[in-house]
Structure 1
Amino acid sequence: MKTTKVTKETILKIYHPVQNDTHKGIQGHVLIIGGSYGKMGAPLLSARAALHSGCGLVTVFVPKMGYSILQTAFPEAMVLTDKNEMHLSDIAFSIVPKAIGIGMGMGQEPKTRRAFYKFLTSNTLPLVIDADGLNVLAYNPKYLLQLKPKTILTPHVGELERLIGTWNSDAEKFEKTAALSASLDAVVVMKGAPTYIFSDGKCFENSTGNPALATAGSGDTLTGIITSFLAQGYPAEDAAILGVFIHGLTADLALPTTGTQAFVASTIIAYLGKAFLEVERQK
């Protein structure tokens, strides 16, 4: 399948700097939904990455036991909780965010799967689905029929295999992923080295990143970054391309200081500012 390389020139055509007269109310409100007992770090990382990527507001929807964790570890975020203590069972909220990221650390409890399906049937907002959200979709393929056009899916190789089945070659993997994107009218971010983005019959190959990104929570931060760009008004395809590029750029900028082994997901968030400054310097 023919691919288009995502370069700095590509990004400069997509990226728009924050305006001088902006305020948090128009920078976009992100809602991050996820978490379960023992996995509260996932939505926390996503939420932190989202706010550090330029959106004005972040709300996190988590099981009840996650309330104090989020309020303590991330005071800049607002927190809503499910009625269930340990896992999600009823995804209900009155706020109206600009974009939603869902699935990180969510688990696959039966009540969580049902709540996720109910959410999909009613949601009309720009959406990124990651991690356990993807696993629930693979477990219940009929749920895929509820996805709105331009939903962004961000599978790593294991999650991708659950969604499209096995493959015997890279060519077959690309064909099946392109078919998934086309059948759902979705943007599929095939995470790997390198990462590829499938959208509207096109395939984009990212040019940033290194092995340091192969660390726990890296994908959670990517979901937060992409969701933030959606909330700021970027079209789904552009949000995915820009998010993947910036995510990889943090690792490239950090590598001389951290090396590969000491780089963790929080390092991605710490280097987001430098990544944006690098893009703006080029622009």
Structure 2
Amino acid sequence: MKAPYLITKEEVLKIYKPVNPQTHKGIQGHAVIIGGSYGKIGAAVLASKSCLKSGCGLVTAFVPKCGYQILQISIPEVMVLTDENANFITNIHLPLVPQAIGFGPGIGKELGTQKALFEFLRVNKAPLVLDADALNIISENLSWLELVPENTILTPHPKELERLIGKWNSEAEKFQKTVSFSEKYKVIFVMKGAPTHIINKNEIYENTTGNAALATAGSGDVLTGIITSLLAQGYEPKYAAKLGVFLHGLTADIALPKTGYECFIASDIIENLGKAFLELGNVPIL
């Protein structure tokens, strides 16, 4: 395996586009987060909030009916659409054309949700991030990946990756199988881990930010929101993935002296996103 390219601050600054002083919310991108099921609405909350807090002008969450009040109360800035089903997603109708969609946090694997994912993939044309149970469903239906837009971003943790590409006997074999999968289906992998790697066809990138504090529930949901936000703002998928993982990790590096490893939770990633962006702009953090 060739040595990966490092995702450093220097590299990320070549990608990062500072906000235009004349911008307005209508041109900062409209993202949709499709997520949540009974008992896992928090995943949709985390992804939607991180999406908004990463610079997206407008965010709409699509959740089962049981998530309506939770979303409206916990993030008043996010708009909410609901499925006809109370407890899980069964039928996705979007009365808008978003610039990007994040699909998967907390959706579960109910048969109705699997059908809804298939029908969605059949008609969707928007840039896409697939995460969590969306990946688990697809791992049992790999042919569905023929339906996704080229350079769709998949964000598996190690177990989800194994379900997609099969077991491996060494790190070298894991990367080899992921590269082959990426080339075959024309998808970009964000391989979450310590460190996180991005696989884009035969190119391998290694993130240089982050620490063990990120090993906490909901951390991946937040990453999905960040990357979806960057896609909606017009970043190319390969750049959205790189900038997204760099910022995500940087929040943990910034917060660690105050929280320690044990006390850091996914909401702390969102709380420190502003400081992470300021660091990219070389603005002193007070």
Fold shared, TM-score > 0.5 on shorter chain: yes
CA–CA distance in structure 2, aligned partners of residues 143 and 38 of structure 1: 27
Distance in 2, Cα, partners of 1:264 & 1:160: 23
Deviation at 1:148, TM superposition (A): 1.6
Give the aligned residue type for 2:152. T
Question: Is 2:119 aligned against 1:118?
Answer: yes
Equivalent residue, structure 2, for 1:16: 17
Q: What RMSD in Å do the two structures reach over aligned CA positions?
A: 1.0
Deviation, 1:142, is: 2.0
Deviation at 1:186, TM superposition (A): 0.9
Aligned to 1:77: 78
Give 1:223's aligned residue: 224
Q: Distance in 2 between matches of 1:167 and 1:227?
A: 29
1:266, CA displacement in angstroms? 0.2
CA distance in 2, matches of 1:220, 1:37: 16
Give 1:175 shift. Answer: 0.3
- TM-score, normalised with respect to structure 1: 0.99
Q: Which secondary structure state, in structure 1, belongs to the residue aligned with residue 85 of structure 2?
A: coil
Q: Give the Cα–Cα distance (whole angstroms) in 1 for the partners of residues 47 and 33 of structure 2.
A: 7
**Structural mapping, 1:77-226, within 5 Å:** 77-226=78-227
Once the two structures are TM-superposed, the CA of residue 94 in structure 1 deviates from its matched residue by: 1.1
Gaps of 5+ in 1: none
| Structure-1 residue corresponding to 2:61 | 60
**2:31 aligned with 1:48, yes or no?**
no
| 1:268 partnered with 2:269 | yes
Tell me the amino acid that sits aligned with residue 5 of structure 2. Answer: T
Unaligned runs of 5+ in 2: none
Shift, 1:147, TM fit: 1.6
Instruction: Give SS of 1:25's match.
Output: helix
Amino acid at match of 2:173: E
In the alignment, which residue of structure 1 is the partner of 2:238?
237
How far the C-alpha of 1:228 sits from its partner, in A, is 0.3
State the distance in 1 between where 2:163 and 2:209 align: 26
1:92 Cα shift? 1.1
Shift of 1:145: 1.9
Partners of 2:72 and 2:277 in 1: CA distance:
27
The 2-side partners of 1:206 and 1:141 are apart by 27
Give me the whole-angstrom Cα distance separating, in 1, the residues matched to 2:143 and 2:201. Answer: 22
**2:266 counterpart letter in structure 1:** A
| Distance (Å, rounded) in 1 between the aligned partners of 2:112 and 2:13 | 44
What is the CA deviation profile of residues 44-69 of structure 1, one whole-angstrom value per residue up to 9, with x for unaligned ones? 10000000000100000000111011
1:252 maps to amino acid: D
> Deviations 1:131-152 (Å, cap 9, x if unpaired)?
0000000122221221220100
Equivalenced residue count is 283
Looking at structure 1, the residues matched to 124 and 17 of structure 2 have their Cα atoms a distance apart, in angstroms, of 28
- Letter paired with 2:223: L
Letter in 2 for 1:126: P
Q: Which amino acid aligns with 1:42?
A: A
Distance across 1 between alignment mates of 2:220 and 2:54: 15
**CA–CA distance in structure 2, aligned partners of residues 232 and 145 of structure 1:** 25
Give the letter for the 2:119 counterpart: K
